[in-house]
Amino acid sequence: MRIALASPPIPKSLDSAISTLTELVQLAAVSKAEIICFPESYLPGYPGMGYSESDRSAPSLTRALEQVAALARKNSIAIIVPMDWHSEPGLQNLAFVISPDGEVMGHQSKNQLDPSEDEMWVAGTERQLFEINGVKFGISICHEGFRYPESVRWAAQAGAAIVFHPHFTGSDETGKVITRWGDPDSPYYEKAMLMRSIENTIYFASVNYASKFQESATSLIDPDGNCIAYQNYGESGLLIRDIDISLATGKLAKRFKKELY
């Protein structure tokens, strides 16, 4: 399977996010990618960045999802688009999966919120497995993939060959400039990515925004825990790679005796 991991800049508005998304989807489709994943809460943009109330309204987000579905259909590519979404329990952080035919196949909610997010979103309660072109995959959103390995283990035990991990770390305002992937002096995030793959024997695709002070790179980790590719820090664009699904055996995940815990 050929996958595309999008590293867009932090959007200025919902319209600018849609514009950048359109450009990156078209580039991924031209490169024959079968699926593209965007960072956490990409539509309308991560909370706290000054987005207007109209950008964050239910009608605006519904229209945005419809636009993305039409884009998937036009370009014959599957899209994972993380969004804020007005649901019955309240505002949730989730990722929609759209088929190459433009069908909204379902969504994965963020079920484990960071303590700082308790007043921002309502946590979800279910996990979903998806399949595109015969490849099964799961989604674990930011904090839950970094701090709750069970979210990735669940997908691997259910047969996922890859788990997509839309997240957001860093800032355009302040921070440290990282130049070396997996640097011992950098935050723990990239080390956690390695663990999520090697402890399950699957691919782990972690997707971040391109910002001035990134704390982790958009990265692709193979089932042996090797970072086989990453997007340069601070550079927006696409990371496109072919993955060998036969290597994603899920061997270690399948050996986990969950009944003991």
Of 202, 189, 99, the C-alpha closest to 143 is 189
3-state secondary structure of 99: coil
Check residue 167 and give its pLDDT: 98
**Residue 50 pLDDT:** 87
pLDDT at residue 48, rounded to an integer: 85
Distances (CA, A) of 225 to 47, 185, 228: 32, 20, 9
Q: What is the pLDDT of residue 188?
A: 97
Query: Residues in the chain with pLDDT < 50?
Result: none
pLDDT of residue 66: 98
Query: Which pairs from 246-252 meet CB under 8 Å and 24+ separation?
Result: 247/203, 247/222, 247/223, 248/161, 248/162, 248/201, 248/202, 248/203, 248/223, 249/201, 249/223, 250/156, 250/157, 250/159, 250/160, 250/161, 250/200, 250/201, 250/202, 251/201, 252/198, 252/199, 252/200, 252/201
Backbone angles phi, psi at 70, to 5 degrees: -65, -35
Q: Give dist(CA 243, CA 112) in Å, integer.
A: 28
Instruction: Give the pLDDT confidence score for residue 49 in this predicted structure.
Output: 86
How much is the pLDDT for 46? 92
Nearest CA-CA partner of 153 in 75, 83, 59, 257 = 257
Of 161, 138, 162, the C-alpha closest to 151 is: 138
What torsion do the CA atoms of 49, 52, 53, 57 make, to the nearest 10 degrees? -90
Task: Tell me how far the alpha carbon of residue 217 is from its chain's centroid.
Answer: 12
